Structure 1
Amino acid sequence: MRDAIQVLKLQFYGLLLLTSLWGLQNVLNQGFDVDYRNDRSITCLRCEASGGICGFHSSSHPFVCFCHDGEQPLVRSSNEHSRSMNTRLIADFNFS
């Protein structure tokens, strides 16, 4: 059983810089869980549930819902700011 660790993106990059290639390879071969929190997940799920595709459009809004009737900005209500959806990402690397 693997231990679950929770790290911030900047902490992870710092660990990569401080860890030797062998140490990094060892950690990646053993595997680890990443707890990724995405504040836009709830809104994206609502977009996709309505038949749209959650995406990115740099010239209009950072995140948009591409719907059958055009793109809509992902606007969140004030009570959604306190909620986030946790997504578990498990990475598997194989070094030969």
Structure 2
Amino acid sequence: MTDTDDETVTINAAPQLTLTKTAGAIVDTDTPANGAGDVGDTISYTFAVQNTGNVTLTNVNVTDPLLPNLACTAVTLAPGESQNLTCTAGNVYTLTQ
């Protein structure tokens, strides 16, 4: 005797993303350098994204209102996958008063 049983379980899609923005060292543009972050000095940023949801995310990109010219390479992330984005422009912020 053979007994079979099939059951379909629907899992709701729950896309979710975690972004980590990390500031690099302040570039002191003063002459002579004063060791402080002040007007005109710059900070570069790196961005890491992680898919914390349960579906694959495609064309993941980052925008930042303080970095309007930010240009990062879009990526595809499987659930649980993380990646550092490659930013080719606009990831440097100049300090203002």
Name the TM tier (shorter chain): under 0.3
Q: Would you tell me which structure has more helix in proportion to its own residues? A: 1
Structure whose CA Rg is larger: 2
Report the TM-score, using the length of structure 2 for normalisation. Answer: 0.27
- Say which structure, 1 or 2, has more relative contact order (CA 8 Å, 6+ apart): 1
